[in-house]
Structures are given as C-alpha cells and as structure tokens.
Amino acid sequence: MLVLLAAFALTPLTLPWLTNRIGPRAFFLAALVPLAGFVHAGLLTPVVLAGETVTETFSWIPQLGLSLSMRIDTLSWVMTLIVTGVGALVMIYCRWYFDGKTSGVGMFSATLLAFAGAMYGLVLTDDLILLVMFWEITSILSYLLIGYYHARGASRRAALQALLVTTLGGLVMFVGAVILVVQAGTNSISGILAEYADTASGLAASPLIDTAIVLLLVGALSKSAIFPFHFWLPGAMAAPTPVSAYLHAAAMVKAGIYLIARVAPFFAVAAPWRPIVLSLGIFTMLLGGLQALRESDLKRILAFGTVSQLGLLTAVIGYGERNTALAGLALLIGHALFKSALFLVVGVIDRQLSTRDIGELSGVGRQAPTLAVASALAVASMIGIIPMVGFVAKEAALTSLLEAAEEPWALVALIGIVLGSVLTTAYGLRFFWGAFATKKDASGARKPATAWPDPPMGFLAAPIVLAVLSLIAGFAAPWLDTALRGYADTAPEVGDPYHLALWHGLEPALFLSLGCIAVGAVLFGFAVRTGKTPRRLLTFTAADVYNLTLRGIARLAVWTTSLTQRGSLPVYVGTIFVVFVASQATALLASPDWKIELDAWQTPIQVVVAPIMILAGIVAVRARKRYTGVVLVSVTGLGMVVLFATSGAPDLALTQVLVETVTLVTFTLVLRRIPARLGEHNASVWPVARAVLAVAVGATMAIVAMVATGARIEDPISDAFPDLAYELGHGKNVVNVALVDLRGWDTMGELSVLILAATGVASLVFVTHRSDLLSSAISSLPTAAVRTRRPLVETEEGPRPRASAPGSTRQAWLVGGQRMRPENRSIMLEVIVRILFHTIIVVSIFLLFSGHNLPGGGFAGGLVAGMALVMRYVAGGRYELGAAAPTDAGRLLGAGMTLAIACALVPLLFGEAPLTSHFWEADLPILGHVEFVTSTLFDIGVYLVVIGLVLDVLRSLGGEVDRQLQALREAQSARTAGGIS
Amino acid sequence: MSVSLVLIIIMGILFAAGVYAMLERSLTRVLIGFLLLGNAANLFLLVVMGQPGEAPFFGVGSPDEMSDPLPQALTLTAIVITFAVSAFLLALIYRSWQLGQADTVHDDEEDVALRERVPSGEDAMNDETSIEDQDDEVTTDFVGTATAPITVLQHRDIAGIRDDAPTDRPTDGGATGGGEQR
C-alpha cells in the first residue's frame, strides 16, 4: 500500500513531460497506477472476506505520533476498489475526451492522478490527522481540476467556491480531529473509535466530545455537498466531464460519506448525531431531487441528482445500525457505479455534439443504441429497478428502516426516502428522455434528429463497463452480502440481521419501491406533458448567501486596509511607538512594587559628558542643515566613546570611534549630491503631538531601565564568562571571545545583516548591475604598466598610464590621483596616504589577531582596514579605490560569510556542536611559542565581511556616485555645446 | 544593582530626541533620529551593565571587579549594525534624491486611492464574486473551442488517416446510426 502511495505521488511528476511526447495516450500510463491499486485490493479480497485487517505502517514524525499507517478492512477495501477502479476507467476515458487538445492536458493528467492518489491514501489511512491532510490535498487538487478551463470566469469562480467551502469544512473538521486525538491520546482512528465505545474510558460522551463529533461532521457534510453546503457541487460542473464523473460521483464527494461510514457505527449514539445527519440528509435529498427536475442541462440534472443521492447516503449510512450500514454500503457501491457511468455518457454526448442541453438533443437514442442501453441500465439502477444493484440496495434500506420505524428518526428517514425516491424516478426518467428521446416541439411535431457522429469503441468502454457492473452486482447480491458483512457487523445490531438478495419475496419494501417508481413515472409524464417545472424549494439559494459572504469579506478587507494602511511613514512609526509606550506603561503600572537603586553618577566623567550629549542630541533634531545635524549626532557618538572608555569597555570605545568616523565619511559622500539645507517643506505636521510622544517614549525607557535593573535577583550569566573565555575559548579578551565563540550565533546573524545592508546599498546605487567596474578597469591593465607608477589618464579605452612625457621620469604618489580634477587634489593628502596605507593595513591585521587577548578583534580590525580604503579613495578618487582593493566587494562579503559558516559547520562533521573551537599550540623555531584557536578563523570571516561592507559603501556611494555625476556633467556640457552650435 | 541616574537621563533624552526626529517626513531627519536612537539603545545596554569596573580581560582581576562582558558583546554588534543600516538609509536618501529631487517620504498613493474609493462603491473589487456571467449558462465543456467530434474511421474519411483530424459533422445523421458497435 505504501509503495502504491509513493507511485501515486511520483508518477504525476513525469506526466506533463510524457504528455508532451506522446499526447493524450499518456492517460493510458496514468491509468496503470490506479489499476495496480485496484488489482492489489482485489488480490486482498480473500483476506478481507476472512475478516482480517491488513496494516502497513511507516513512522513519519514519531515526535508527533504521526505515522503513515495504512490498513485495509471491509470499508476501506470497498472504497479502494471504487476509487481505483473508477479512477482507472476515467483515465482511459480521458484519452479520448481530450483527444486533439494539447494545452494543459499534461498538467491535467498529473493533477487527476495525484488526486486519485490522495483519495487512495484518504480511504486507507488509519491516522486521523493524516486523513485530514489527505482531505485537504483532495480539496486543493479538486480546485485545480474544476478550474481546468481557467480562461472562463465561471470555471474559476466555481473552482474557488468549491475550494473555499470544502477547505472551510476541512478546517472545522481539523479542530474536531485535534480534540478527539488529544482526548483519546492516540492518532489512530480505530483506537479512538474503540476508546469511544468503551464507556469507562476518558472519551465517554461529554459536551466536549459531542462538539468534536459535530465539528467532524461539518467537514464530512461540506465535502459531500449536504445542505447548506450543497451549492458548490452543481457549480463544480464547470469542470471537464471526466472530472465530474470521478470527483463528483465516485471519489471526492464520497470522502465525506466514507468518514460518516467510518465513524457512524460508534458515534451514531452521540446526542447530536442523528438529528443532524438525518434531517440534513433527508432535506438535501428532497432539495436536490426537486432541483434536478428543473434543470435542462444534462450535467446539472446529474449534479443535483448527485446532491440528492448524497443526502440519501448520508441519512442511511449515518443512521448507524447494522442493517442500515449494510444497506448504505450497498447504496454507495451502486451510486458510484451508475452515477459515474451517467456522467461519462453525458461526456460522450457533449464531446460529440458540443451540447448537453436537453432542448437541443433529439433522437440520439435511435442513432446510438449502445450508449442508450448503457444509460438505461445505469438509470434503472438509480431508480431501483430489479435486477440492478440499486434495487437490491434500496430494498435493503427501506426494509431496515421499516424495521426500526418505532424510532421517530427512522420514521422521518423512511418517509423522506420514499418521497426522495419518487423524485429520483422522475428526474432519472427525465434524464434518459432528455438525452435520448425524440422530442416534439410546441406544435406537437417531431423535432428533427440531431446528427450523431459515431465515437470509437474505446471512448464508450468506460461507461459501458460501469453500467454492466451495476447489472452484475445486482445478481451478485448474495456475494456482496458476505463481503460487506464485515463492515456492517461493526455497527450495533437491532433486530434480525438483514441479508442482501435480489428477491426477498413480496415484502412491504417491494411495494413501497414499486409505488415510488409508479408515482415518479406519473410525475415525470405530467411534467413532460405540461412542460411545467416545480417551483424552487427555497426562496433564496445557498450560492447567494455564499456570494454575499464573500462580498462582505471583500468589503471588510477594503475597510480594514483603508483604516490601517494610511500610507504615511510618520503614522506607521508613530503607531509603533504609541503601542510601545502603552504596553510598557501597562506592564509597569500593573506591578507597582518597583525596586529602584540609583546612584547620582558612577564616575565624574559621566557628569562632564552628560550636558554635552544632551545638548548635542536636542540641537541635532532641530538642526536646519543636514551636515550640522549629523555632526551633532557624531558628538553624541563620541560622548558614547568617552562613556565606554571610562566604564571598562575599551573594545566598545575603539569600535564606536571607528564607526563614527566611517559614518561621517559616508554621510559626506551622499551630501555631495543633495542640498545642505533641510527645506521647510520637509517639516512634518503636529510638532506638539510628536514632542509629547517623544517625551513619553524617553520617560518610559528611563523608567524601564531603572525598574529592570532594580528587579534583577539572579547573578548574571556572564559571571562565568571570564573563566569560560580562557578555558574554552583560549582567549583573555572576554568580549572578543564572547563574540566569536561563546555567543558566536549572534555574530553569525549580525554578519548576515551586514551583508544584506551592503547588498542593499549597492543595489540602490548601481540599480541595474553589480559588476565591479573599478577593479576590472584597473586589473585589465598589464601589471608592468601599473608597476611603472605613472599616473593614469582617461582614454577612449578606459584608464591608461600616462605616456611618459619626454624627459620626465616622475612617478605619482597615487596612480589614480591624476584622475581627480585638479582643484580637488591635495598633494599633501596623497603623500600621507601613500606613506600610511600599508602601515594601517598592518595595524588592522594586528588588531584582528591580537583581539583574542587584547582590545581589538575582527570588527575593529575590519573597520581600521576600511578606514585605510577610505583614505585611498578620498585622496585618489575611484580608480585609486579600484587599485587599492583589486577585488569585488561581493567576493569579500561572500568569502567572509563562507569562512564563518565553515567554522559553524565543520565541527558538526566531527560530531560536535556548531562553532565549537579547537586549540593548538606549538613551539616553532624563530617564531617561538605559537597558539592557534579555530575561532580566529571565524574572526577573520568577521574581518572580511566588515571590509566588504565598507568597500561596498565606498564603491557605491563613492565611486559610482562619482561616475554618475561625471556622466551628468558630460551630458550637460554636451547639451550646452549643442545649444551654441 | 544600582545604576547611574545621569546615564539614565542622557538615555531618556536621546530616546526622546530620536523618536521626535524619526516621526519626520524627511529621510535625513529619520536617519538622524535613527542614529540617536541607536546611541540611546547602546546607552541602555551600558546602564544594564551596572557598576563600571575593570576592562574584562582574563587575569586582570577578579570577575567581581570587571565590567559585565555580555552587554559589551551585545553593544559591539549593535554598533556595527547601526553603521550598516545607516549606510543603507543613506543609499535610500541618495536614490530618493536621484529619482525625485527630494528626500521626503510622501504618503503612498495606492493607499490614499484605496481610502478614497471606499464610499464610492465596491464595483471593482468583486469581479470574481459576481454571479452574472455569460459563461454561466453554457451547457457544454467546449466553449470557445472548435471541437470536432471523435469518430471511428469510415470510408468517407479515407483521405484523413488520423482519426482525430477535425471533420465536418455529417449531414446524413441517420445513415451512420448503429455504426458504433464495430
């Protein structure tokens, strides 16, 4: 069974490709899979008849108790035979139905096969949660199948409608399933049912369990198109007819019936069960039957007929006694056979004549006798005419309900079924008459026969096989009785056990049955004679309610969107802060016993720095010029440096001062392009409200800081850090070891943020590409040319070393220097940069490696190296930057991140936790005592990423902005020149 | 754990200043606000660090006399991330200026349009829920496609070898009746 399930899952993947190669013949191959399932189930027949249950289990997610447990008992065996048998026939039928079509058929065949697989799993699994999963898979695949004609609005709407209704039901059912699983403590359906039957267990009838059962029922009823969910099924007739034959006659709608059949023998005694199942089932039967009499589209007649029959099945199977269970299962088999056959017949008519309107068809029966005979058999089975299987089943249903008729609900069911059978006869005859009879027009003259092109035999095979099976099954009633007994006996027995048979003698049920047929025939004759159709049963349609609901939801969505999506950045940011203040203030006020320990200050320097930082912060906000604002922000940053330095945090001070510098440089790079003054039009409204909110946030944070620090009762975890750092990380700088080892995952996350930000900067500035023009422009030069250290000049082919002027051997301090415009050059700067650059790089590397034991580390080292690049760029322009960093920033970022990830992953290969570090030491000649910790490699990754970030910022906001400025200038001068000439 | 009031005051004021600036429409002011907020948040971590002590280096002194290294590690990452994000904001400012000669964030036009549309009606939004459609009444699967019926190969079809080749419907319908049994 599991192997077959896997085949069902994998084969669809190959079908689109196969269909492209061999056309609709691929359906034959697709049919092989359900056929294999059919044969497999068929081979198990002796085992199932012996009353044994075959199980296969594959543990899937043991932590959740989820396992792919499959089992075949009588009910599953019957369902499997139906699902796979009809499935295989429909696939074969599709080969002709889709003949000549190419677009979308591959996807269609794949979806149909996958659907068959989901149904196969659904009827076989013993895991309730897995059943819900298969359930949802069938809903989604049916959406794709119904929406096959996706170019049609009606088709799309019908598909969406079916999806929404069935998934809503599935969701409700899932809640019920979870309640049952939790209460029973097992996923197994058989386990849950057994526990429910055992009244001593925790699953005995209680309001909670009753609720769960009702929720489960909602799922089953919505899937099986029982009122008030019935409307999706007629809508789903927008699907191709083979889909209707399979999904809406044999498979998907039967899923709900299957679930009811599975649980009814046990749950039928629950208080809400019979009222719901019987009232809705009977009502649906009558509603569908009446509506079927009004339709003129053959397929819609069948659709409402199916709704009606599903109501009948729900009522009979849901009654939950031994005899009704037997009758219900026989009805289910009968319905699957005759309804699929009829749908397929309609498909043949539609395919041949491109219509299925009974007003347009006339005299088809005479021209297509085989088809007509097959349909006659199927219709006879539907109406319940001896010797069809439908007769046997209906006989059983009527008898079993007659016997139980002291029960009020059984009486209701009996009366409903009798009335429903009358309607069934009427619409069954109407269908046959509509499809095959020679009709008369209004004046009484015969309509001309519709021309009938003969279809090939293969096209007709599937409906004929199904119709003939209806006949054979009728004769095989005694054998069916023994076969189905295995299921029926699970239900409680009331009265004598009934046996399925073709002839029970002149019983009350027989006369009821005959009466129904006679009244139905009269009703049909009357309707044809007068041309009248019965009135609607309800003044509104459920579809209208559905549409109103959808429209209401859409309106609500627009209303909510317009309410919450104000489209204004200040409003969004303000909302965040308001929520922050409100939530924190609530939390603070809710626990009023604050313990606050305050010193006025801790070090005198704090008092010195405080007024400077406060003033700078306030003025920065009110600054009218951009540069003023940013410089003042830098002042607060430098205040932070002082505070860090005096609080025993040298690493922080070092990093902060470097970052302040780089930030300032970056800002200056951008400021070249935008005006210095912040325009008045930039001012936002409501300064007072903003000030109030700002003060509220500040005050809240201050209180939070005081309360949070006062509330600390445990020793901080970091008390152990110094020892850990030395013993595990082999480093004396605790902060650095914390970054690269103890809390390495934090750093890993941070590196990702840095890479994202760098990529974001580059893509915002470069917009269309991210190739490294700078370094490639330089590196394409012959090395010797660069070695000469002659200044580069711009030529048609890009930068080239300046041809040496005669008599001049002067070399430049920086090769890119002469690319700058003369007024921007500073020879002092060039000299200093030339002298200092390599020194700074060495310092940065020293910081990187010494960081393990002394202040420094990858961040500080990377920033220092970045500063060196900044110097080269500022002094020499973008080509100088290209010469300084002859590689793509993206490569640096990638290499750094790869190194860091490797540090995380490699220990895994040795069965250790990620980011575990190792330590080697050795006494080498010359170098002396050398220690090496693998976390240094991680730090090198950090170093590379930080350099990459700075380089990316310089390349984008520096070099690329230069290029764009230059291009702009050239364009302008060209325009001016053009204007003059 | 006692904390410094001075630090908390600085922190509160920086937070307030940062929030005030972040509520502006000008992206530059938002950036200034973001930087101030970043500094304030780092200050918060500094406050949480508690009593300042020796720099946290192993072997320098006893752990009791050291500053708490954990907030320091957190702050270090925060500083670098603040730089990365402010660089991104600067690139945004540049791009915004390049496109619109302004660094102001205007209200999203789509949202405003949606807001204004609500009272005027919902006709545009239920295109998939309206039940009136000309396709609804069709009684065949084959709308808009010219599908020829599938037929068995007959004497008149000899010219066409493929049995799925489109053929005209025969006009003498009765003559071919009963031919399907073959």
Among the residue ranges A256-265, A315-324, A869-878, the one predicted with the least confidence is: A869-878
CA-CA distance, A502 to A473, in Å (whole number)? Answer: 10
A164 close to A142: Cβ distance less than 8 angstroms: no
Query: Residue A157 has what pLDDT?
Result: 84
Residue A546, min C-alpha distance to chain B (Å): 9
Residue B101, min C-alpha distance to chain A (Å): 8
| Section A322-330 average pLDDT | 91
Cβ–Cβ gap B128/A157 under 8 Å: yes
Is the confidence at residue B136, as pLDDT, over 60?
no
* Cis bond upstream, residue A228 (ω within 30): yes
Task: Report pLDDT digits (tens) over B27-82.
Answer: 888 999 999 999 999 999 999 888 888 888 887 777 778 888 889 999 999 999 99
**Which residues of B, range 55-94, sit inside 8 Å of A by Cβ?**
55-59, 63, 66-70, 72-77, 79-88, 90-94
Its sign, for the CA torsion B137, B142, B146, B149, is negative
- DSSP secondary-structure letter at B134? G
Query: Residue B120 has what pLDDT?
Result: 47
**Which residues of B, range 124-153, sit inside 8 Å of A by Cβ?**
125-126, 128-131, 133, 135-136, 138-145, 147-152
- Token pair 């019920």 is found at A176
Q: At what angle do helices A105-124 and A128-146 cross, to 10 degrees?
A: 160
Query: In the predicted model, what is the mean pLDDT of chain A?
Result: 85
Chain A environment of B155 (Cβ under 8 Å): none
CA-CA distance, A9 to A1, in Å (whole number)? Answer: 12
Among the residue ranges A22-26, A206-210, B141-145, the one predicted with the least confidence is: B141-145
For B67, the closest chain A residue by CA position comes to: A648
Q: Where are the domains of chain B?
A: 5-108
Listed residue (A870, A877, A893) closest to A949, CA to CA: A893
Cβ–Cβ gap B58/A650 under 8 Å: no
Mutate one of A644, A646, A859 to test the B interface: name it (highest B CB count within 10 A).
A644
Chain A environment of B163 (Cβ under 8 Å): 456
Is the confidence at residue A770, as pLDDT, over 60?
no
| Beta strand segments in A690-729, E | none
Q: At what angle do helices A369-383 and A322-353 cross, to 10 degrees?
A: 150
Give me A80's structure tokens.
Answer: 């499997």
Buried b vs exposed e over B122-141: b needs ≥16 C-beta within 10 Å?
eeeeeeebeeeeebeebbbb
For A346, the closest chain B residue by CA position comes to: B140
What type of residue sits at position A373? V
Q: Span A572-679+686-710: which CATH code?
A: 1.20.120
Is the confidence at residue A195, as pLDDT, over 80?
yes
Chain A environment of B160 (Cβ under 8 Å): none
Q: Which of A350, A662, A705 sits opposite B44 (nearest CB)?
A: A705
Q: Which of A663, A716, A738 sits opposite B86 (nearest CB)?
A: A663
| Section B5-13 average pLDDT | 93
Among the residue ranges A624-638, A723-737, A918-932, B17-31, the one predicted with the least confidence is: A918-932
Query: Residue B124 has what pLDDT?
Result: 45
Query: Residue A533 has what pLDDT?
Result: 64
How many helices (H) and strands (E) chain A has is answered by 38, 7
Q: Where are the domains of chain A?
A: 1-126, 280-534, 572-679+686-710, 738-803+810-980
Cβ–Cβ gap A453/B170 under 8 Å: yes
User: What number of CA atoms fall less than 13 Å from residue A970's CA on the CB side?
Assistant: 6
Its sign, for the CA torsion A155, A161, A164, A170, is negative
Mutate one of B64, B79, B138 to test the A interface: name it (highest A CB count within 10 A).
B79
Listed residue (A243, A281, A18) closest to A111, CA to CA: A243
B156 touching A (Cβ < 8 Å)? no
For B56, the closest chain A residue by CA position comes to: A734
Q: Which of B77, B136, B141 sits opposite A241 (nearest CB)?
A: B141
What type of residue sits at position A926? I
Chain B environment of A734 (Cβ under 8 Å): 56-58, 66, 69
Q: Which of A610, A646, A726 sits opposite B6 (nearest CB)?
A: A610
Cβ–Cβ gap B176/A155 under 8 Å: no
Q: What percent of chain A has pLDDT above 70?
A: 91
What type of residue sits at position A764? L
Query: In the predicted model, what is the mean pLDDT of chain B?
Result: 74
Q: At what angle do helices A128-146 and A189-197 cross, to 10 degrees?
A: 130
Q: How far apart are the first and last CA of chain B?
A: 99
Cβ-based neighbours of A225, under 8 Å, separated by 6 or more: A232, A233, A253, A256, A284, A306, A307, A310
Chain A environment of B148 (Cβ under 8 Å): 100
User: What number of CA atoms fall less than 13 Å from residue A766's CA on the CB side?
Assistant: 19
Among the residue ranges A177-186, A856-865, B138-147, the one predicted with the least confidence is: B138-147
B120 touching A (Cβ < 8 Å)? no
Is the confidence at residue B107, as pLDDT, over 90?
no
B182 touching A (Cβ < 8 Å)? yes
Q: Is A670 helix (H, G, I), strand (E, B) or coil?
A: helix
User: What number of CA atoms fall less than 13 Å from residue A722's CA on the CB side?
Assistant: 17
Is the confidence at residue A204, as pLDDT, over 80?
no
Its sign, for the CA torsion A578, A581, A584, A587, is negative
Listed residue (A641, A635, A642, A623) closest to A664, CA to CA: A635
Its sign, for the CA torsion A370, A372, A378, A381, is negative
Is the confidence at residue A494, as pLDDT, over 50?
yes
Domain B5-108 of CATH type 3.40.50.800: no
Cβ–Cβ gap B70/A738 under 8 Å: yes
A565 close to B111: Cβ distance less than 8 angstroms: yes
Burial class (CB within 10 angstroms; exposed 0-12, middle 13-18, buried 19+) of A313: buried
Is the confidence at residue A644, as pLDDT, over 90?
yes
**Which residues of B, range 27-46, sit inside 8 Å of A by Cβ?**
28-33, 35-36, 39-40, 42-44, 46
Q: How many CB pairs under 8 A join A and B?
A: 476
Burial class (CB within 10 angstroms; exposed 0-12, middle 13-18, buried 19+) of A140: middle
Chain B environment of A153 (Cβ under 8 Å): 128, 133, 135
pLDDT band at A804 (very low <50, low <70, confident <90, very high): low
Query: Residue A779 has what pLDDT?
Result: 55
- Token pair 């849950």 is found at A192
Chain B environment of A296 (Cβ under 8 Å): 139
Neighbours of A737 (CB within 10 A): 33
Cβ-based neighbours of A119, under 8 Å, separated by 6 or more: A83, A87, A134, A138, A251, A252, A255
Among the residue ranges A226-230, A536-540, A658-662, B34-38, the one predicted with the least confidence is: A536-540
Residue B158, min C-alpha distance to chain A (Å): 16
Residue A493, min C-alpha distance to chain B (Å): 47
* Most confident stretch, A483-497, A567-581, B127-141, B143-157: A567-581
CA-CA distance, B58 to B61, in Å (whole number)? Answer: 7
Cβ–Cβ gap B180/A573 under 8 Å: no
Cβ–Cβ gap A652/B79 under 8 Å: yes
Q: Is A581 helix (H, G, I), strand (E, B) or coil?
A: helix
Q: Is A857 helix (H, G, I), strand (E, B) or coil?
A: coil
Q: Which of B24, B76, B128 sits opposite A684 (nearest CB)?
A: B24
What type of residue sits at position B7? L
State residue A385 phi and psi, 5-degree precision: -105, 135
Cβ-based neighbours of B144, under 8 Å, separated by 6 or more: A151, A152
| Section A677-686 average pLDDT | 63
| Section A762-777 average pLDDT | 69
What's CA A283's distance to the chain center, in Å?
37
Neighbours of A21 (CB within 10 A): 9
Chain A environment of B70 (Cβ under 8 Å): 716-718, 721, 738, 743
CA-CA distance, A102 to A878, in Å (whole number)? Answer: 57
For B110, the closest chain A residue by CA position comes to: A567
Cβ–Cβ gap A957/B87 under 8 Å: yes
**Helical residues (DSSP H) of A1-104, grouped into ranges:** 2-22, 26-43, 45-49, 74-97
Residue A477's H or E segment, with its range, is helix A477-488
Cβ-based neighbours of A566, under 8 Å, separated by 6 or more: A572, B107, B111, B115
Q: Which of B23, B90, B170 sits opposite A574 (nearest CB)?
A: B23
Query: Residue B45 has what pLDDT?
Result: 92
Query: Residue A799 has what pLDDT?
Result: 60
Cβ–Cβ gap A647/B46 under 8 Å: yes
pLDDT band at A163 (very low <50, low <70, confident <90, very high): very high
* Cis bond upstream, residue A387 (ω within 30): yes
A361 close to A349: Cβ distance less than 8 angstroms: yes
Predicted TM-score of the model (pTM) = 0.69
Listed residue (A257, A164, A163, A165) closest to A217, CA to CA: A257
| Beta strand segments in chain B, E | 3-4
Q: Which of A457, A547, A629 sits opposite B129 (nearest CB)?
A: A547
